[in-house]
A and B are shown apart, each in its own frame.
Chain A
Amino acid sequence: MLLRKLFPAVLLAIGSLPAQAAVTGQVGAASDYLFRGLDYSSGMLVQGGLQYAAPNGAYSGANMRNCSSCGGSEARLYAGWAGKLGQVVGVDAGVQYYLYSESEQNNNGHLSYLETHLGANAYGLSADFYYAPSYRGAASVGGGNRDGYYAALSYRYAIDTSLHLTGHFGYSWGDGLEQAVGDKYSDYSVTLSKQLDNDFAMQVAVVDTDLKGFLPSGAKYDDKPKVVVGLNKQFSF
């Protein structure tokens, strides 16, 4: 039993699936991969993942996607715990590793990094805080601190049982983040999501940031709203 708690993913992988074990998966395609408002794919995105959730609230999983800003592909490995405080407030604490295995193949340096996460939610409102000690690894080298912080607030409103509207605001800062991105910045989005038949869902979002400045070419840069559309499918084992 202890072993099971320590290595749930391993045991599940070799096929000893108890009937109540919640292993779920997801695959999806979207017009762009936006990570906290930043365009990470410069084009179409295909992504998918697997997750194991234990009855006691512990979860772990992995997901992967194409990501031109990550050297080609990204794999995220994560684990955490989600549960309720009382009847209303949900809480979530976890850690995730952004594995950018291909970031080294063109001598771009090692971009992989670890991040911790704390969140709380109630009545459709959620607040999340993220901390990475060395944001985007080598992209934030340059002496001094390499930390990156992200705080986000979002509100999800149910228009009806299958149709939701979500407003989101995030703020990114920290010495490491400012090295990698160029500045601290805010990102905001509005997402309409519709649950479809057969565990399909679609989303349409408008995403923007307040990033302004100059590109390496010298051209002026002022981020403008991007419309993103996506379709995904959930499945279980």
Chain B
Amino acid sequence: MNTMKKAVTGLMLGAGALASGQALAAVNGSVAATSDYMFRGLDASSGAAVQGSLTWNNPTGFYAGGWASNVTGGPVIPVGGNEFDAYMGWSTNLSNGVNVDVGAIYYYFSEHDQAGGTNNNPSYPEVYVGASFAGLSAKIFYANEYFGDASKVGNKDQDSLYTTVKYAYNIAQGLDLAGQVGYSTGNGIENLLANAGGNDDNYWDYSVTLTKNIGDGMAASFAVVDTNIKVAGFEDKPKAVVSFSKAFNL
């Protein structure tokens, strides 16, 4: 769902390895505090966020779970209140060491209409497929109604295609440096940027993250995140983001 989630997922694997003496835990969880919830390079919380997830993993590779965060939206993202993501998918390791992952997410913003009057529901579903090998990973996401009615412009299509590639380099035991680049494109992106005063139908996001495993399933991460978005009155500049997370098994 976001870089934090990805960092936490990596961490959960680490926690799993630490606990390898016991049988495969069926449910993994995580909690995290982050100085900003960044979604594909965009500010979704305009300040600190507290997040958590629970994921049930089946030995066949099937998984399902939920992830939640406070959100406020930002210069581009039109959400507020809270976000709850429900997801399910299937992930497996092929014999050549490649991991593949396919699944679907529903981004649910339950508080969108509590102030009454508007019905600009930003909730939407998305499907994804990804692959990773050693430190390199790539994932493609497709949504046909990106940010739902909240980013709708007339009767235009709202499709969004997001491609992200990440490389994580292991500097030392428990210390990783990761570089990530993402590309968002489609009418849904054009609508989102139009709401913010722009007229492009694509943008790039990039980040560099240093993650330190600090024991007991906890991790600290330091990141710089930016996009190439430049619209009227808003030219995105690099954001410093720090996060603290803890992974656990139920």
Contact = CB atoms under 8 A, between A and B. Distances in A.
A87 interface: no
A233 B36 contact: no
B25 to A, nearest CB: 22
- The number of chain B residues touching the other chain, given as a range, is 20 to 34
Given A48-B222, A65-B242, A72-B43, A105 B236 contact: yes
A66 B46 CA distance: 9
B175 interface: yes
B109 interface: no
Given A46-B242, A48-B220, A50-B222, A68 B35 contact: no
A15 B171 contact: yes
Contacts of A48: 35, 220, 222, 242-244
B48 A45 contact: yes
26 contacts: A14-B171, A27-B243, A44-B48, A45-B48, A47-B35, A48-B220, A48-B244, A50-B222, A63-B242, A64-B35, A64-B241, A65-B35, A65-B242, A66-B35, A66-B36, A66-B48, A68-B46, A71-B237, A73-B36, A101-B237, A101-B240, A104-B235, A233-B214, A233-B220, A233-B244, A235-B220
B47 interface: yes
Interface string A113-144: 00000000000000000000000000000000
Given A15-B171, A107-B233, A235-B212, A102 B239 contact: yes
B237 A28 contact: no
Interface in A34-74: 41-50, 63-66, 68, 71-74
Closest 9 pairs (CB-CB, A-B):
A66-B35, A64-B240, A48-B242, A27-B244, A44-B48, A46-B35, A235-B214, A75-B240, A73-B240
A44 B212 CA distance: 23
Contacts of A72: 36, 43, 46, 239
A29 interface: yes
Given A47-B35, A105-B235, A198-B216, A64 B242 contact: yes
Interface residues on A, range: 35 or more
B34 interface: yes
Interface in A11-30: 13-15, 17, 25, 27-29
Contacts of A50: 222
B238 interface: yes
A56 B24 CA distance: 48
Contacts of B243: 27, 46, 48
Given A48-B220, A66-B36, A233-B244, A102 B237 contact: yes
Nearest to A14: B171
Contacts of A73: 35-36, 239-241
Contacts of A29: 33, 48, 244
A7 interface: no
A69 B208 CA distance: 24
B238 A102 contact: yes
B71 interface: no
Nearest to B172: A15
A110 to B, nearest CB: 10
Contacts of A45: 35, 48
Nearest to B216: A198
